[in-house]
Amino acid sequence: MSEFTLIEAAGGARPKVVGIAYSGGKMNLPGWKHPVVVDLSGMEIPDTVPLLTNHENKTDARVGMVSASVKNNTLEISGEIVSDGRDAADIVAQSKAGADWQLSIGADVKECELVKSSREVNGQSVDGPFYHVRKSTLREVSVVAVGADAHTSMKVTAKFNLSKTIEGDSMTTEIEKKTVTAATETEEKKPVVPPVEPEKKPEDEEKKKKPESDGKTAEAADCDPEKKAKGEAVPPAIQASGIDIHAAAKAAVAAERERVSAIQTICAGDYPEIEKQAISGGWTPEVTTKKVLEMIRAERPAASASITVKAKPEGGELRKTIEAAMCLRIGVSADQLEKSYGAQTVEAGMAEMDMPLRQLLVECMKLDGIPYSRGFDNETIRAAFSSVSLPGILSNVANKKLLQSYEAQPVIATKLCSTGDLNDFKENDRFRLTDVGDLLPIAADGEIKDGGLIEESAKNQLDTYGKKFCLTRKMIINDDLGAFMKVPTAMGNRAARLIDQLFFSRLLLNPTQADGKTLFHAGHKNLLTGATSALGADSLKKAIQLFLDQVDADGQPISVEPKFLLVPTALKHLAIELTQGATLIMGGGTDATVRPALNVLADENLQVVSSPYLGNSAYNGNSQTGWYLFGDPRTVDTWEIGYLKGKRTPTVERGETDFNTLGLWFRVYFDLGVREQDFRGMVKANGSAN
């Protein structure tokens, strides 16, 4: 049990507070599936933390500042009330009236673990399952009416340091550390007041003169106003008892004033109706306190969360946990997910990997506050589809799976092409500056000749490619998440292959350029034709020479070497032999030239890239004999893969639900454009006489 004490000092000093904020045990918190235990040994504690009311993050909710420390496996706090606001006044006033309070901590979680068995934490043996918050940072401590830590309580009492200077006397009397409340003081000072006979009316004077058989004449005479004025009006029975009637009356008045003062202190001007009823109705301070507390509980929430955790699985964090669980279930690696969700969320998701699709729908309805029934029917499915969380979670999960398959698919075009960002779907000019003129000697007069830059341009244009797919009622009832995820997996593969399809379809077409010549043309000095162009040592050497002899707009060599040898699958192994073999074995024939047994082509460091698209009959211009040399796209313009505003991966999002389909539609789309940029960065060999 924790005792929280508020010490209010004299002379305007601020009230002091001490108490136990957390006992180290289990707490049941909103949004957590299991109880939470905060490990105090792993808690970072700042020098000071704010004292709030009900964990409200606003300026008028901060009532004080406290320091915290761990003692005996509990979190103890001490500090002072610094606010003069209403919340602080309520705490002080209700404390004086005898109200009990509890404390509550707010912390940021840095590391959390789900414990399914038992474990010793904070010197206690805690039975699982529970969430073990291993590392955290204390952010605030709150005063609450009801805390989540059932093993702690807080009693607030007011202690006053009173001093009274006696007028005309130099001595001062101090009563130190005396615990008082308005209720107890009233009880202690309440006197016993004897009944006093009411004054008689003038018309009753005649009755006094008449003898009465009941013997009241003498008593009536004793109450004569004149005698009363002389101090002779006290009844003999009271006189015989020795009670000072005047002192008793004075004490009664003082007691009434004490009662009224206590009621006014308890109400503190905030509950005028209760104050009025209490004073006129003769309520005791205890009854008044009870009425005020009932009013407060009616105005404020009856309970508050005992720990504020930014990383807790609640709201948006719970949604991320569910997303991580679904991604893990379909085979997305934990390492990849940690980059998006963080290690803690992924760990929490591991515990929910077995969540069936039906339960996923229910959890999404809970997140959005949609009522649900225990049964699982078409209405439940429709209600879940109408939520915000379910389509969002499934879209993100499908995106992760599509991206995984997209990145796993090998793409040849990305090796041979540069990338660029386009802002719209219009045909874009892709400009580059070319240096014109060499450095010239400076004349005797020191004048430097003007140089120049000319601007060359190419084109690129985006198109949008896409498809849609559906999560059907049948898949949900059969809990067939795998069948649903096969579609984005296949679409990820298709999206990656789309880049190659666009590149090779245009490459094989040999498109016409702005100068009226095709991309590979004798006038561009980047084309080998005839029977001697078949892939071999001599033809490869000729192609390399053509590449190296390319010149810029001013007639100077581009000084770029070829890097990639692109061949159809039929020529793959021959290309490897030519570029990686240590020696060249020449065949016999009429050529009697003596050749050294050294493969000079191996020193060119050409990377062989083989593609089935070159020989595929579905593409115009396909050939099993044609091959190409490409320069490094980082040093010379070859081809460009254009993306819309830097979005380099396809997108999955929820589509409009078809009324005729009991299911949820999703669409995949990809904005992409592939175009050639400069003929100087590549050479083609037909590889045949044609």
Strands (E), 172-231: 172-179
Q: Is 628 exposed, middle or buried (0-12, 13-18, 19+ CB in 10 A)?
A: buried
Residue 431 has pLDDT above 70, yes or no: no
How far apart CA 356 and CA 354 sit, in angstroms, is 6
Outline where 510-631 has alpha helix (H).
Answer: 537-548, 572-580
Residue 316 has pLDDT above 70, yes or no: no
pLDDT: which is higher, 623 or 665: 623
How far apart CA 156 and CA 8 sit, in angstroms, is 11
Q: What is the mean pLDDT of residues 575-590?
A: 73
* Under 8 Å between Cβ of 645 and 423: yes
pLDDT digits (tens, 9 = 90+) for 447-475: 766 555 555 667 888 899 988 888 877 88
Residue 1 has pLDDT above 60, yes or no: no
Q: What is the mean pLDDT of residues 3-14?
A: 57
Residue 543 has pLDDT above 60, yes or no: yes
pLDDT band at 534 (very low <50, low <70, confident <90, very high): very high
pLDDT: which is higher, 221 or 426: 426
pLDDT at 242: 61
How far apart CA 74 and CA 51 sit, in angstroms, is 18
Burial 663-677 (b: 16+ CB within 10 A, else e): bbbbbbbbbbbbbbb
pLDDT band at 297 (very low <50, low <70, confident <90, very high): low
Residue 248 has pLDDT above 80, yes or no: no
pLDDT band at 536 (very low <50, low <70, confident <90, very high): very high
Residue 146 has pLDDT above 70, yes or no: no
Other Cβ atoms less than 10 A from the Cβ of 148: the count is 22
pLDDT at 573: 94
Residue 410 has pLDDT above 60, yes or no: yes
Cis peptide before 129 (omega within 30 of 0): yes
Q: How long a stretch of residues is the chain?
A: 690
* Predicted TM-score of the model (pTM): 0.51
Residue 156 has pLDDT above 60, yes or no: no
93: three-class secondary structure by DSSP:
helix
Residue 674 has pLDDT above 90, yes or no: yes
How far apart CA 326 and CA 314 sit, in angstroms, is 17
Residue 478 has pLDDT above 70, yes or no: yes
Radius of gyration of the chain (CA): 46
Token pair recorded at residue 253? 């008045």
pLDDT: which is higher, 122 or 309: 122
How far apart CA 246 and CA 228 sit, in angstroms, is 12
How far CA 440 is from CA of 250, 257, 328, 437, in Å, comes to 119, 109, 65, 8
Q: Read off the DSSP letter of residue 198.
A: P
The amino acid at 515: D
pLDDT at 612: 96
Residues in CB range of 551: below 8 A, 6 or more apart: 557, 558, 680
pLDDT at 524: 94
pLDDT at 563: 95
pLDDT digits (tens, 9 = 90+) for 352-400: 888 888 888 888 888 877 877 666 677 777 777 777 788 888 888 888 8
Residue 588 has pLDDT above 70, yes or no: no
How far CA 115 is from CA of 106, 442, 517, in Å, comes to 22, 80, 72
pLDDT at 99: 67
pLDDT: which is higher, 160 or 296: 296
pLDDT digits (tens, 9 = 90+) for 613-652: 999 999 999 999 999 999 999 989 899 999 998 899 898 8
Instruction: Determine the longest span between alpha carbons in the chain, in angstroms.
Output: 173
Residues in CB range of 631: below 8 A, 6 or more apart: 547, 560, 561, 562, 563, 564, 638, 681, 682
Please work out, in degrees rounded to the nearest 5, the angle formed at the alpha carbon of residue 505 by the alpha carbons of 503 and 509: 115
Nearest to 672 by CA among 638, 639, 640, 643: 643
Q: What is the mean pLDDT of residues 176-182?
A: 30
Task: Please state, for a pLDDT cut of 90, what percent of the chain lies above it.
Answer: 23
- Which residue is associated with the tokens 């460091």? 605
* Under 8 Å between Cβ of 406 and 495: yes
Token pair recorded at residue 578? 């030519």
* Under 8 Å between Cβ of 122 and 139: no
How far apart CA 540 and CA 400 sit, in angstroms, is 43
- Domains defined along the chain, listed by start: 5-161 (3.20.16), 184-209+218-299 (no CATH), 316-390 (no CATH), 517-586+596-634+679-685 (3.30.2320)
pLDDT at 337: 86
pLDDT at 154: 45
pLDDT at 232: 45
The amino acid at 372: Y
* Under 8 Å between Cβ of 81 and 15: yes
Q: What is the mean pLDDT of residues 303-316?
A: 45
Q: Is 164 exposed, middle or buried (0-12, 13-18, 19+ CB in 10 A)?
A: exposed
The amino acid at 356: P
pLDDT at 640: 93
Q: What is the mean pLDDT of residues 479-499?
A: 86
How far apart CA 226 and CA 208 sit, in angstroms, is 14
How far apart CA 53 and CA 50 sit, in angstroms, is 10
Residue 185 has pLDDT above 50, yes or no: no
Backbone angles phi, psi at 563, to 5 degrees: -120, -35
Q: What is the mean pLDDT of the chain?
A: 76
